[in-house]
Structure 1
Amino acid sequence: MSRCILLRKLNLMLWCVGGLLGQPAAAQVARSKTETTSFQIDQPWSAAVDVRSDIVMLYGIGDDFPTRAASWQGKGYNVQFMTGIAWGNYQPYFEGKFDGRPHPEDVQLERDGTRIMHGPTVPYVVPSQHYLDYMKTQVKRAIDFGVTAIYLEEPEFWARGGYSETFKKEWQDYYHFAWMPQHESPEATYLSSKLKYQLYFRALKEIFSYIKTYSESKGQRVKCFVPTHSLLNYSAWEIVSPEASLAALPGMDGYIAQVWTGTARVPNYFNGVKKERVFENAFLEYSSVLSMTAPTKKTVYFLTDPIEDGVRSWDDYKKNYEATFTAELMFPSVNHFEVMPWPNRIYQGKFPVRDKTELQPIAPAYATQMQVMINALNTMPQAATQVSGSKGVAVLLGNSMMFQRFPVHKGYEDPQLSNFYGLALPLFKRGVPVDLVHMENLGYPEALTQTKVLLVSYANMKPTSALVHEKLAAWVKAGGVLVYYGKDADPFQQVKEWWNTGSFHYDTPLAHLLQLMQLPASQQDGVYAYGKGKVYVTKTDPKELVMQPQADQSFIKQLQQAYERDARAGQLQFKNSYRLDRGPYTLAAVLDENENQEPLVIQGPLLDLYDPELPVLPSKSVAPTKQAFLYRLPSPKERKLPRVLAAAARVYDFKAQPTSVSFSTKSPANTNNVMRILLPSKPGKVAVTRGGTSESATYAWDAQSSTLLLKFRNYSEAVDVKISL
């Protein structure tokens, strides 16, 4: 999320930029053997933002990169490099300082010639071959410095773009016929977005290939990642990006799922009501990115942000951070995290507070809570457990969802992506954890192995190839149940695509799929058998299920029949909550807009990790609209081994002796540490020192849980703790 460039360029007077100068290097800290946490920043090291994750992704190559990088390396960080692929401080390229001539033709343009900008001097780019040559010089400098990974973030082509001279030339080269203004027809819209998708696919393929070849020539093996918004968010925001197709690139090592309050708060419809549904949206966004990588075995980092780009109140940030953080952790196969972007914006920024006229810095309590959360990520285990609810229901996704968004043409409207949410939300809001499956990954045998019922619509997207239908037909024949919704009357059904060109002459993509399964291309609702499976066809667009009150009742009954009778998957369980036990942690969320408005009660004893006081609770009641992040305390028989259960700082050099426990902590300066430490008996003496000098600390023993609550001031240099037993 490299929005800092835009924020700086717009001079939002919300940042406190003091205290960012590097300080004298301390002794280098040994890195953890497995590096699973990271953050991004464009500043040199500072005690105020010393987050203590494993990796710092240093943004922007600039002449000062070596100095900035050395400041973080001196503090024990693995320094990696991040930059935008679609925009950045690339003025030398546009001003002619790279190859002797300016390149205004490579700026994304709207229909009226307006340049699409990320900031006053930072345009969005049409990735021409000249531009890719320039970008290779940028990544080369990072490789020469010795970074271990490169992140090319946000390959974004705005749907409203597509009018520049470079784009017109690329159109001719790709399609072999003259450019068509995208506003003139649905086909031109679809083909324009398809080309935008292809241009950034080509760009990343070429740059990643260069990174691998060049780094290997130097005896290195630099990894390549794409930080990207979800397919759902890019579709909602009318942006085109390669998304799922990148996972198959040999030079591609993984993604960062850029999901945060700003993406998850995009409103959607359910039961006739348009509003923000942050937890629900975040869960589906994370699921979308995980679906892109799961069959490929590529690495995916999940990101969330304690604040967001938009100027909101600290209370708003905190509420939605808890919602997105809870959703993030409900995917136990993922244990790599970007814990935050732009810590300087978080720790040193000022934002509104209720009943205050002046902007305020982060509250000490919120900073402590946030640090408890992000330090839990450093040791967050992968788990074989699954989120509660009936398994095996999935919605099919495809990159072509981005191709029908802008401009809107007569005969087609999809307000707030309702053709997607119409399939997903009626089930998710009833407690069914809907999976998402990318059609681009159907070639992998694992893609549908866990799916019993697959929900499909071509109202808002189109199949990318005949292979998609071949895989779906084979899956149904083997016993899968496919539920199709769509009138198939939108004008994009007639775009020049594979199902109506060459040897294919089908009026709609669905007609081809039905013929493969030897089923009638009926215009009426029906249920059909094919092999061991079933196909449901309902000539209703999914958006109609959520844009009107109570419009999803027949859909739910149909899904129960498909799941219970045809797929023989057991009872389709409806509830109002989600829960996941992940190692010692429990995540929980309770939904509103559900017939059941009862709270979810989780029995303890527990630590409440969303409470900066880390209280010990006998149980936790989670009300509708709320989420919980809990640590389940060990049983009395398991309390002999001392350990830190939760802390608002990172713990180093933990040593348990028969008569003492010792460790050190590090965290951003000027914040407060709160810790819960499991001990076999009540401690005698607790000493907290920094550089040999005593630090002020308070502590309290909880005999019932055998835990010590310890509080003291955080510092970026080590604070040493010794507890006598």
Structure 2
Amino acid sequence: MQKTALLYLIPVLLLLACAKPAQFGENAARPKGEKTAFQTSNPWKPVTDVRADVAIVYSVKDHHGKADMTFEERVKTWRDKGYTTHFMTGIAWGEYQDYFTGEWDGEWHLDEGQVTQQGDTLWHGHMVPYIVPSQNFIEYMKEKVIKRVIDAGIDAIYLEEPEFWAKAGYSEAFKREWKDYYGFDWRPQHESAENTYLSNKLKYHLYYRAVEQCFSFAKEYGKTKGMDIRCYVPTHSLVNYSQWMIVSPEASLASLPSVDGYIAQVWTGTSREPNYFNGQEKERVFETAFLEYGSMESMTAPTGRKMYFLTDPIEDWPRDWADYKKNYQATFAAQLLYPMVADYEVMPWPDRIYEGLYRTSADSEEKAPIPRFYSTQMQVMVNTLNDMPLSDNNVSGAQGVGVLMSNSLMFQRFPTHQGYDDPQLSNFYGQTMPLLKRGVPVKTVHIENVSFPRTWDGLKILIMSYSNMKPMEEEAHGHIADWVKKGGVLVYCGRDKDAFQGVQEWWNKGENTFNAPSEDLFQKLGLKAPFAAGEFTYGKGKVVVMRADPKEFILKENNDLEFVNTIKKLYGSEPISGKLEFKNHFSLTRGPYEIISVVNENEHTSPYIARGKFIDLFDPKIPVLDEKRVQPGEQAFLYNIESVKNPQIPRVLATAARIYDEKITTNEYALVAKSPLNTTNVMRILLPEQASAIEVRDVNGETLQAESSWDEASKTCFLSFENSPEGVHVTLSW
């Protein structure tokens, strides 16, 4: 590319005065919506003007953090800058000191924290325990939090992270809730699998009740003010909560009338949790993120609830900038491989991203603000989310292979009983990782959703196990059996020997006398005791029973071959008769965007090669490439210039700012770019021919320093200058 000097010609206003009626390009019309969001506890600042659609203002506490403002004043600062404002707070923890210290109702409530067997309260911060959500606490949330938020004119409420630690359950408050719920005295969960299961079912119920009552109140109170209140649950994935040994209502909330959607809280911090594959325990960030996002998407797809996908350019744990960049790219690519979701929380806590200090390298304690190259790349990525389209395309690979999940994955993680262990959630990863690592885009299926017909759309093989979860409702087996009868293929993996098989539940109560819940399913599928390993037919479908727990496939090296070959054989035979392709990559086209991820730990070690005319969106210089090679363990995010319709119409193809007020005339293209202060904008602009004049001016009309170059092969102009939240006015003439 040939670099040219910035050209200064006549003022922008004179050019616009001579302009002909505007013709808008594909990305010119930008209707205001709620496609992208971020959360912040601070007021608007020029250095954190993220330029998403929604500012989710966190906490009702006045004078929160460094802001000497009331909650309402903080909200107003964002509204004044054109943002839609929503509200978020924790439901399991938060700055509710007035509740705990008795200011609210005259009673001391610090005894309502979650407590371990050792008698230790689990704290989220100073005077902020993880909460046993009593009915009294729910009333406090309604009166002191939700009512105030709605009175401030906010019509979207997010109650985040309904979390009860599996290791907790020993407080007096929990014992009271146990007696109310079960009708008999509390039992210590460490003494038996039965007690553990009962304890975690109660934890699950308590937050289900808390969310349902708070949101139902919000909707009813909103109606009294003529408002339609929308309610969302920001939550970690079922994969992560299960691995981190936390209990949460998760999928069950998707069926509540009071719940309008979720934020999938997936980021480097959750996805870098180590897991096993081929006998090795280590971080597998892309693969874990892919499964986390997938579990959230499949949780809500059958119910039609809205889903925001979250990524974070950094994470809670302090690391270095290069580590953040690498893993941000992995999670970012993973979320984009779900083309049925196109709403995003582009980042949490912009203050810590734009103003925080983190290590300059992994082996140094020196700390520095976010490097310009990373903030530029990050903003290019974030601004693609403002325009990221939905797509009917599928990620590359054999479709229709699913793994069954249940909320009860969270119930038997801690403590262990009778020596049965599930290290790092290996019974789940044992069903998914052997296929994902071979390039099969495994989806997850929630047993809580099997009654919804959409749950079964496109599903060909369902893999399941009750080694690490149990079916909470008997009716689920009827739906699974109906699906098999119509031509589905079911693969059941499990020895059914863990201590939780015998807990007092529906499969061994009343007229049911099954030793394990799978026996009820097998009976409905026409199988006969003793339910040995083998392949069976049922209606138009098949059932394969493998008498091995899924963890066995991955805890030892090369121990997954029988499992993988079984799936491959079933996929290639009747009633599917397809080809289970094994490869080392995933790719997807979404509008003009190409998303690619190449997995490692695969027998294929060759790179994925994309050829065409691309902008590299993971490179802060946004160069134009004719070829992109993606190595194993890496991801790529490309803009396909050749996909543009009507290339004679000018448009911004990639940018580290949000674009407003685009105007196109016969020989001129004008726009306004907005992004946070102290950041650098880069733009690649498609033009019918090289610009003979480029003007870059601030909001006061003063000329700004800029850098530009022209790439003749792609007909794109590269332009770079310092960002401003007030707007930089750009005019290109030819």
* Shared fold (TM-score, shorter chain, > 0.5): yes
Deviations 1:102-139 (A, max 9, x none): 11331111112110101132100001010000000201
1:581-660 aligned within 5 A:
581-634=589-642, 638-660=646-668
1:294 aligns with 2:301: yes
Q: Any residues of structure 2 matched to 1:269-280 within 5 Å, and which?
A: 269-280=276-287
Alignment partner, residue 106 of structure 2: 100
Aligned to 1:79: 85
422-431 vs 563-572, greater mean Cα deviation: 563-572
1:517-572 CA distance string (max 9 Å, x none):
22113353111111111110111000000000000111111111211113324111
Does residue 1:69 correspond to 2:75, yes or no? yes
Which residue is 1:14 aligned to? none
Partner of 1:714: 723
- Give the partner amino acid of 1:721: V
CA contact (8 A) 2:540 2:575 kept: no
2:232 is aligned to 225
1:723 and 2:732 matched: yes
Conservation of the 8 A alpha-carbon contact between 2:333 and 2:597: yes
Aligned counterpart for 2:255 among listed residues 236, 240, 248: 248
1:705 maps to 714
Question: What residue number does 2:43 align with?
Answer: 44
Number of the residue aligned with 2:246: 239
Distance 1:289 1:155, change over 3 A: same
Is the 1:369–1:648 Cα contact (8 Å) retained in structure 2?
yes
Q: Aligned with 1:338: secondary structure?
A: strand
Given the superposition, is the C-alpha separation of residues 635 and 498 from structure 1 closer, same or farther in structure 2, using an over 3 Å criterion? Answer: closer
| Counterpart Cα distance in 1 of 2:56 and 2:554 | 41
Secondary structure at 2:37 match in 1: strand
Specify every segment of 5 or more residues in structure 2 that has no aligned partner in the other structure, as ranges.
1-28, 63-69
Stretch of structure 1 that moved more, 704-713 or 552-561: 552-561
Show CA shifts across 1:484-516 (max 9, x none).
000000000000111001121110001111111
**More divergent stretch after superposition (172-181 vs 714-723):** 172-181
The more displaced of 352-361 and 179-188 is 352-361
Q: Does 1:178 align with 2:177?
A: no
For the pair 1:533 / 2:532, whether they are aligned, the reply is no
Does 2:570 match 1:562?
yes
1:408 and 2:416 aligned: yes
- Residue in 2 aligned with 1:27? none
CA contact (8 A) 1:605 1:632 kept: yes
1:381 maps to which of 389, 401, 418: 389
Residue by residue over 1:450-495, the C-alpha shift from the partner in whole angstroms, topping out at 9 and shown as x without a partner, is 1100001000000111111000111111110100000000000000
Aligned pairs (5 A) from 1:6-155: 32-63=31-62, 64-137=70-143, 138-155=145-162
Counterpart contact for 1:260–1:324, Cα < 8 Å: yes
Contact 2:522 2:531 in 1 (8 A): no
After TM superposition, the structure 1 = structure 2 runs for residues 360-375 of structure 1, keeping only pairs within 5 Å, are: 360-375=368-383
| TM-score normalised to structure 2 length | 0.94
Given the alignment of the two structures, is residue 216 of structure 1 paired with residue 223 of structure 2, yes or no? yes
Match for 2:320: what amino acid? S
Distance 1:638 1:228, change over 3 A: same
Q: By how many angstroms is 1:295 displaced?
A: 0.2
What is the DSSP-based 3-state SS (H/G/I as helix, E as strand, rest coil) of the residue aligned with 1:204? Answer: helix
User: Which residue of structure 2 aligns with residue 164 of structure 1?
Assistant: 171
Q: What is the CA–CA distance in structure 1 between the aligned matches of 2:223 and 2:566, rounded to whole Å?
A: 55
Counterpart Cα distance in 2 of 1:636 and 1:566: 42
Q: How many angstroms does 1:358 deviate by?
A: 2.0
Matched residues in 2 for 1:101 and 1:181: separation? 27
The answer on whether the counterparts of 1:372 and 1:609 sit within 8 Å (CA) in structure 2 is yes
- Counterpart secondary structure, 2:232: strand
1:635 & 1:184 partners in 2: Cα distance?
62
Note the C-alpha offset of 1:357.
4.5
Partner secondary structure for residue 499 of structure 1 = helix
1:327-374 Cα distance to aligned partner (Å, 9 max, x none): 010101111000000000001001111265521111000000000000
Three-state SS of the structure 1 residue aligned to 2:138 is helix
User: Which residue does the alignment assign to 1:494?
Assistant: 502
Higher relative contact order (CA 8 A, sep 6+): 2
Please state whether the residue corresponding to 1:404 is helix, strand or coil.
coil
Say if 1:481 and 1:566, in contact at 8 Å, map to a contact too: no
Which of 432, 451, 469 lines up with 1:443 in the alignment? 451
Q: Which residue does 2:471 correspond to in 1?
A: 463
**Alignment partners' CA distance in 2, 1:655 and 1:72:** 27
- In the TM superposition, 1:514-525 aligns within 5 A as 514-525=522-533
Residue aligned with 2:411, SS: helix
Distance 1:638 1:130 in 2: 61
Alpha-carbon contact 1:230-1:286 (below 8 Å) kept: yes
**Whole-Å Cα distance in 1 between the matches of residues 487 and 364 of structure 2?**
61
Q: Name the count of aligned residue pairs.
A: 696
Change (3 A) 1:314 1:213: same
1:281 alignment partner AA: T
C-alpha contact 2:32 2:53 (8 A) present in aligned 1 = no
The 8 Å contact of residues 31 and 77 in structure 1, kept in 2 or not, is answered as no
Tell whether the 8 Å contact from 2:72 to 2:152 is kept in structure 1 after alignment.
yes
Cα deviation code 1:614-673 (max 9, x no counterpart): 100001010000000000013697310110000000000111110200000110001000
Cα deviation, residue 227, structure 1: 0.2
Secondary structure, counterpart of 1:694 in structure 2: coil
Q: Secondary structure of 2:425's match?
A: helix
How much does 1:194 deviate?
Answer: 0.8
C-alpha distance in 2 between matches for 1:111 and 1:277: 32
Q: Alpha-carbon deviations, 1:579-606, whole Å to 9, x = none?
A: 0000000000001000000100011110
Q: Residues 207-256 of structure 1, C-alpha deviation per residue, up to 9 Å, x if partnerless? A: 11000000011000111000000001001111000000000000100000
SS in 2 for 1:102: coil
Q: Give the TM-score taking structure 1 as reference length.
A: 0.95
Once superposed, what is the RMSD of the aligned Cα atoms? 1.2
SS in 2 for 1:546: helix
1:31–1:76 CA contact under 8 A, matched in 2: no
